[in-house]
Amino acid sequence: MKKDVPALSATLPLCEECNTAFGDELESPTSSLFDEIEAGRGVSDSDAELLIRWMWKIKGLAWIAANPGGRHTDNYTLRQRVLLPIDDIRGRLVLGLALIKSLHPESTDLPMGIDSRTECDATFVSGVFSMVAAMAVLDEFAPMIPPQFCQYQLAAQRDAMDSAKLFYPAASFRDDVEAVGVTWTSSMHLTRAHDHG
């Protein structure tokens, strides 16, 4: 039986090395990146990759918790998938981002969670995190991204030295309730498309 657990209440056992690597290479820089995005300072190509790998980590840890002993993908462990640069699919990834203007009057906390539920595909990921709605899809499914999301397709090759801000998502969601509803609904269709497409 699958049970949803609030993100801040979930505890997963990780070896010290993985926990340190995830914190240093993903959590700390992503926390700063969310501050930059929410402040309207834009996203570079390297930022887009970082955000996708961070979302893959969150989704991957949830998958591993639900499938103990299972292999995350045919080609990668979760650690390899999220800590190594994205490989040959990089240029096929589209990042959708949208900002949230304000919290709904009845909201008691900031939204935080993954909405994608793929069983076979380890690429598609989506969720709402504080005041940012985000999703990463393969380019063939980009037309299914809701219009509230601005889209950025990653460059085929990574350039770690390029920090130019190329992508400025709009504040297109009225509030967090709207953002969560649209993201969750579209994620059901995108989940099916990625698993069976």
* Residue 72: band (very low, low, confident or very high) from pLDDT cuts 50, 70, 90: low
Comparing CA positions, the residue from 179, 184, 149, 182 lying closest to residue 167 is 149
Q: Which residues pair with 12 in a beta bridge?
A: none
Domains of the chain, by residue range, sit at 15-196
pLDDT at 145 over 90: yes
Complete DSSP assignment for the chain? ------GGG------HHHHHHHIIIIIHHHHHHHHHHHTT--EEHHHHHHHHHHHHHHHHHHHHHHSTT--SSSS--HHHHHHSPP-TTGGGEEEEEEEEEE--TT--S--EEE----SS-SS-EEEEETTEEEEEEEGGGGGGS-TTSEEEEPPSS--TT---EEE---EEEEEHHHHHHHHHHHHHHHHHHHHH-
pLDDT at 179 over 80: yes
pTM, two decimal places: 0.87
Residue 132 scores a pLDDT above 80? yes
pLDDT at position 16? 65
Q: Is the pLDDT of residue 134 over 70?
A: yes
pLDDT at 19: 57
Tokens at 103, concatenated = 């919290």
DSSP-derived pairing of the beta strands 93-102 and 171-175: parallel
Q: List Cα–Cα distances, 118 to 1, 19, 93, in angstroms.
A: 17, 25, 16
pLDDT digits (tens, 9 = 90+) for 13-71: 555 666 566 667 788 889 999 999 999 999 999 999 999 999 999 998 887 777 777 66
CA distance 45 to 14: 29
CB 47 within 8 A of CB 104: no
- 118 neighbors 60 (Cβ within 8 angstroms): no
Angstrom distance (rounded) from CA 153 to CA 138: 9
CA distance 115 to 180: 9
